[in-house]
Chain A
Amino acid sequence: MTTPQEIDEPRVHNPPRRGQWDPIVVDRGSMVFEPRPSVGRVPPDTICDGWSTPDFTVRLASIRGDAHRHAGRPRQDHAEITLHPPTGTVLFAVADGVSSAPLADIGARIAASCALSAAWRMLDESGTVDWAGVVAAAARAMLRDRDHGLRAGETPADVERRLATTLVAGGVRPGPAGPLVSVVQVGDSGAWLLQDGAFRPILRVKHGGGGPLSSAVEPLPRVPVTLRAEEVPLPPSGVLLVGTDGIGDPLGDGTGLVGSLLAHTLAEPPPMLGFAHVAGFSRETFDDDRTLVAVWSRPGRPR
């Protein structure tokens, strides 16, 4: 394994290749250590998922960041994917629990899970999804959660202090004109279209201005007054990426080493565990939880 500090010119060390399971290190890596357990909390360190339908290939990885691994705290990101078979729609939900909320990991799980259920139910009942309604359903589920929702005398702000989370929910639906992506956002998680090595943001990006960085967000269960789903076609050579800021921050505009790593390794769907290996790259100061969902279209495959 190459020691990154030995080389001044920033580059990717231990790039992914068959049988290479050392951490992929971008420029200078985070410290090397054995993670501590998050005692008493359910979410495992890393989850990954993935499958293919006649129309799409999907990969998901949600990974505890080095900061939480080192502190023995749970992963506060969460994501889920599912298929709505009658329409062939891939549904996804990605949530990033706000670290100042003590039960943010639970908030993220409630929001992602309920968003996905609501979208599935709408598709089943009407054939379409009202994405603002999906967000409202996720917020409602947080407020009504039996164990952690509103208690006597509390306001929604109390639940926000306890469970606050971002959410990006959406779907990719096959159609005669090609697949269509619909996606809605609360907070600073993001979505991009990766095509020809370039990352085009579909949603509002976190650090657009030239001022100092800020990690302030307006999270669920607060629901933004104006909430509009973005719709973009998924071209045959394109990949839809949805991720938390653990991915978005080091990715930036995609022209750096992390962009080049992701563009190179995600040009074709990697194996499920290989996808998690790539998303779990190590880069100094980027120690937040990381969650990434990727969807590739499979044009021309027989149904």
Chain B
Amino acid sequence: MPDIRGQLLPIYLLVDESMSMGSNIAELEAGLNALHAALLAEPMAAAKVRLSVIGFSDDAVLRLDLADIRTLTDLPRLAKRGRTSYAAAFAELERRIPDDVSKLKRGGYQVHRPAVYFLSDGEPTDGRAWEPIHARLVDRARTPAAPNIIACGIGDADAEIILSVATEPRYAFIAASSTDVGASVAKFCVELTKSVVKSGRTLATGSPELVMNPPEGFRLVIDVV
């Protein structure tokens, strides 16, 4: 083992860019700005996080690649486009996570289990094609750096599917159907920021778990289905 330059938590925001997100894309970008500002105010937590943002619709596009928030000046723009391919989203993670973890390790870092925050406003438009890809991604025997996935559904997202995406029932949240989708995106971003900052703060202090509280107006899926 060479010199250990630090211990890092790779975080992936996997966000729906399908057409149905409409003007809510702007809410999401505002949320990313708030996350950036919150981490700049917590430089010690920020030092332990590397942030990637992936937008998915018909395909998945890397908007931000393992960024050290402290040195980031330009935040990524998201784009509303196409349909909702969960398969494209998880295939991108399946490809990217092992490579990213290897890259960080080659840089002298030790790496915590990656955390994925998934946000979608609809059912997958590619049926069940995503399921085997997701299964491989979260199988710790097959993917040693298999991520923890926190899944949040808004708008027309299906509660059962969101529950299947999350790696644990306590990581699956669904917005009440009566809630305005733009407001749900904003509330998601508030809890996302708290969760990321808390994860950065508590790494290496004996707190073993990724924690996210239900965003305002969201419920745990297991309380719904």
Taking Cβ atoms with an 8 Å cutoff, the residues of A that contact B are 10, 27-28, 30-31, 65-67, 70-71, 76, 96-100, 104, 166, 207, 210-217, 245, 249-250, 252-253, 255-258, 283-289
Question: B207 and A255: CB pair below 8 A?
Answer: no
Nearest-CB distance from A270 to chain B (Å)? Answer: 23
What is the CA–CA distance of A65 and B203 in the complex, to the nearest angstrom? 12
DSSP class of A's interface residues: helix, strand, loop or mixed? loop
Complex interface: chain A residues within 8 A of B6 (CB): 28, 283-286
For window 1-31 of B, CB contacts with A under 8 Å fall at 1-8
Nearest-CB distance from A5 to chain B (Å)? Answer: 11
Residue B219 is within 8 A (CB to CB) of chain A in the complex: no
What 6 additional pairs, Cβ within 8 angstroms, besides A30-B47, A215-B208? Answer: A99-B205, A100-B209, A212-B145, A214-B113, A215-B207, A252-B3
Taking Cβ atoms with an 8 Å cutoff, the residues of B that contact A are 1-8, 43-44, 47-48, 101, 108, 110-114, 140, 144-145, 201-209
Complex interface: chain A residues within 8 A of B207 (CB): 98-100, 215
Complex interface: chain B residues within 8 A of A288 (CB): 204-205
Question: B3 and A211: CB pair below 8 A?
Answer: no
Query: Which single member of B2, B204, B209 contacts A286 (CB below 8 Å)?
Result: B204
Question: B112 and A257: CB pair below 8 A?
Answer: no
Nearest-CB distance from A302 to chain B (Å)? Answer: 42
With A99-B207, A284-B47, A287-B44 as contacts: A212 and B111 at CB distance below 8 Å: yes
Nearest-CB distance from B182 to chain A (Å)? Answer: 33
Question: A285 and B7: CB pair below 8 A?
Answer: yes
A-B contact pairs, 20 of them (CB 8 A): A10-B5, A28-B5, A99-B202, A166-B206, A211-B144, A212-B114, A213-B110, A213-B111, A215-B204, A245-B204, A249-B7, A249-B204, A253-B1, A256-B1, A256-B4, A257-B3, A284-B6, A285-B7, A286-B7, A286-B204
